[in-house]
């Protein structure tokens, strides 16, 4: 065997051992964490926030090294922006941890206690999921937010961020782990994987005996890679091709406000609208008005043939436009004959993320609500409300487009599961 090959094998087996050890430590920490009082978890969260604020120059210094490497590798401006951790972003992360500390603890909540005919009292109690693996791109803020939410729900977390953010993530992780120790919680409740090699992810995704769920956060490529290689259940959040259907009965000003807000308030996020569907009886009055407003705001419109007839200055949409998540100041527009056509379009081209109807018609509102099975369905409101904080979840770990466990924005409750609890007085089964 050649020397190189021997050394590669040794490296591989060291990597396997290290990942296995991390996962095992996570499992052990989760067993303790699942039973501690809310007070201890909140204390740890507040200590984490304080440590991050007081040691911010350390984080910024480590982040600077990451940034230098990324720049020398010629990463894009958007990439550099996401990777950058300045005073404001550090403050925001610390604030986020304080907000998580202030949330109600979901663990221990009892749901739906009912008496059975034989006298048994049967209910469900929320418990932590156990160990959560978060795999994300080079956004150091996820290290703090993700760890905080997992901890609040009593879960141990294993973090694997993009390789370009490794030093930033390790610095944040180190401060959080120190805070855990000071709050008498196991420091392995939060672990940052120190290996940038992709094989570390592959190894992690095999350990279904230690890890309960994997949450990938990032682009479609990352999510597909994780899904295809994981033996552990994955809570995916694929893209958001969100639609607004403006019905013939819509209040025209309300429709315009909602459409503009849903597109331009923050075009780069998954709950921004990508396709506007307009009822044919509304098109002539509504389209010229709203298209002008869009154009004033720098939005490029790509319309169907009927749309182009009414507003000839726009581009013609191609078939692939209807599938597109632009994440940019671009909008596709289609005139439809009725609500059924609108729903059929959403079913064919949509991504099960978020859809809205603007209408004054009771029956159409109900039809849209019951027949569109996307993770968030709105009547007369902007798609931008499909967000954990806006929906009252307190914070958000991601938006699931998987129809299992959680569908739509996920808060701390979605990081728990329930067990049955049963109070008897000697019942046996006949």
Estimate the crossing angle of helix 87-102 against helix 56-72, to 10 degrees. Answer: 120
How far apart CA 350 and CA 260 sit, in angstroms, is 20
Q: At closest approach, how far in Å is the CB of 254 from a second copy?
A: 4
Q: Which residues pair with 123 in a beta bridge?
A: 421
Applying CB under 8 A, among 26, 96, 130, 140 the residue interacting with a second copy is 130
From 10-18, 92-100, 228-236, 313-321, span contacting a second copy (CB under 8 A) = 228-236
State which of positions 319-348 bind a second copy (CB under 8 A).
Answer: 347
354 three-class SS = strand
Give the residue with the Cβ less far from a second copy, 1 or 428. 428
**Least distance from a second copy to the Cβ atom of residue 127, Å:** 5
Binding mask 350-389 for a second copy (x = CB under 8 A): ---------------x---xxx-xxxxxxxxxx-xxx---
| Number of other CB atoms surrounding residue 353 within 10 Å | 26
Q: Does 202 contact a second copy by CB under 8 A?
A: no
Q: HSE-up of 345 (CA within 13 Å, CB side)? A: 28
- DSSP label of 356: E
Largest CA distance in the chain: 78
Q: Is 19 left (phi over 0), alpha (psi -120 to 50) or beta?
A: alpha
Check binding of 122 to a second copy (CB under 8 A).
Answer: yes
Instruction: Using the CB atoms, write b or e for 86-125: b if 16+ within 10 Å.
Output: eeebbeebbebbbbbbebebbbeeeeeeeeeeeeeeeeee
The answer to whether 388 and 410 have CB atoms below 8 angstroms apart is: yes
* Binds a second copy (CB under 8 A): choice among 10, 65, 198, 231: 231
Does the footprint of a second copy cover residue 208 (CB under 8 A)? yes
Please choose, out of 6-14, 51-59, 127-135, 293-301, the segment that lies near a second copy by the rule CB under 8 A. Answer: 127-135
Q: Which is nearer to a second copy, 9 or 37 (CB)?
A: 37
Pinpoint the alpha helices (H) of 122-198: 141-152, 166-182
Q: Which of 74, 221, 298, 426 binds a second copy (CB under 8 A)?
A: 426
Nearer to a second copy, 35 or 315 (CB): 35
Neighbours of 231 (CB within 10 A): 12
How do 398-404 and 406-410 pair as beta strands?
antiparallel
Measured at the CA of 100, the angle between CA 99 and CA 105, to 5 degrees, comes to 130
Among 72, 319, 320, 420, binds a second copy (CB under 8 A): 420
The 390-419 site mask, x for binding a second copy (CB under 8 A), equals xxx---------xxxxxxxx-------xxx
Task: Pick one of 53, 60, 90, 129: the residue that binds a second copy (CB under 8 A).
Answer: 129
Residues in region 97-116 near a second copy by CB under 8 A: 108, 114, 116
User: Which 8-67 residues touch a second copy, going by CB under 8 A?
Assistant: 31, 34-35
Place of tokens 């021997």: 6
The residue within the footprint of a second copy, chosen from 70, 192, 234, 273 (CB under 8 A), is 234
Binding mask 259-298 for a second copy (x = CB under 8 A): -xxx--x---------------------------------
* CA angle in degrees (0–180, nearest 5) for 341-360-246: 40
Counting residues that bind a second copy (by CB under 8 A) gives 71
For residue 295, the minimal CB distance to a second copy (Å) is 19
Considering only 16, 18, 80, 125, the residue that binds a second copy (CB under 8 A) is 125
Q: Which helix (H) or strand (E) holds 310?
A: helix 305-310
């Amino acid at each position: 065997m050649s020397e190189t090959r021997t050394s590669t094998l040794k490296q591989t087996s060291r990597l396997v051992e290290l990942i296995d050890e991390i996962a095992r430590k996570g499992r052990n920490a989760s067993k303790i964490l699942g039973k501690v009082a809310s007070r201890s978890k909140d204390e740890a969260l507040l200590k984490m926030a304080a440590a991050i604020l007081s040691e911010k120059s350390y984080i910024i210094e480590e982040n600077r090294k990451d940034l230098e490497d990324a720049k020398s590798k010629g990463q894009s401006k958007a990439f550099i922006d996401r990777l950058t951790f300045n005073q404001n972003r550090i403050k925001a992360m610390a604030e986020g941890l304080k907000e998580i500390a202030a949330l109600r603890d979901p663990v221990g909540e009892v749901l739906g206690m009912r008496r059975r005919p034989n006298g048994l009292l049967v209910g469900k109690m929320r418990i932590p999921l156990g160990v959560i693996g978060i795999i994300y791109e080079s956004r150091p803020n996820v290290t703090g937010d993700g760890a905080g939410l997992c901890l609040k729900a009593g879960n141990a977390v294993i973090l694997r961020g993009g390789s370009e953010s490794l030093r930033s993530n390790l610095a944040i992780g180190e401060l959080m782990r120190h805070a855990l120790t000071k709050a008498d919680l196991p420091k392995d409740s939060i672990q940052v994987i120190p290996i940038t090699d992709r094989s570390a992810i592959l190894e992690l995704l095999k350990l279904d005996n230690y890890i309960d769920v994997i949450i990938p956060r990032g682009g479609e490529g990352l999510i597909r890679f994780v899904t295809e290689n994981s033996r552990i259940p994955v809570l995916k959040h694929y893209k958001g091709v969100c639609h607004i259907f403006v019905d013939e009965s819509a209040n025209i000003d309300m429709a315009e406000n909602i459409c503009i807000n849903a597109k331009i308030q923050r075009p780069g996020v998954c709950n921004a609208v990508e396709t506007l569907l307009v009822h044919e009886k509304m098109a002539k009055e509504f389209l010229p008005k709203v298209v002008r407003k869009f154009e004033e705001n720098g939005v490029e419109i790509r319309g169907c043939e009927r749309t182009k007839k009414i507003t000839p200055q726009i581009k013609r949409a191609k078939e692939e436009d209807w599938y597109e998540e632009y994440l940019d100041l671009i909008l596709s527009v289609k005139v439809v004959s009725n609500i059924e056509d609108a729903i059929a379009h959403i079913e064919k081209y949509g991504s099960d993320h978020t859809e809205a109807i603007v209408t004054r018609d009771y029956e159409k509102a109900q039809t849209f609500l019951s027949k569109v099975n996307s993770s968030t369905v709105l009547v007369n409101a902007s798609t931008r409300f499909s967000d954990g904080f806006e929906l009252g979840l307190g914070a958000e770990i991601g938006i699931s487009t998987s129809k299992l466990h959680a569908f739509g924005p996920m808060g701390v409750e979605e990081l728990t599961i329930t067990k049955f609890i049963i109070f008897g007085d000697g019942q046996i089964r006949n």
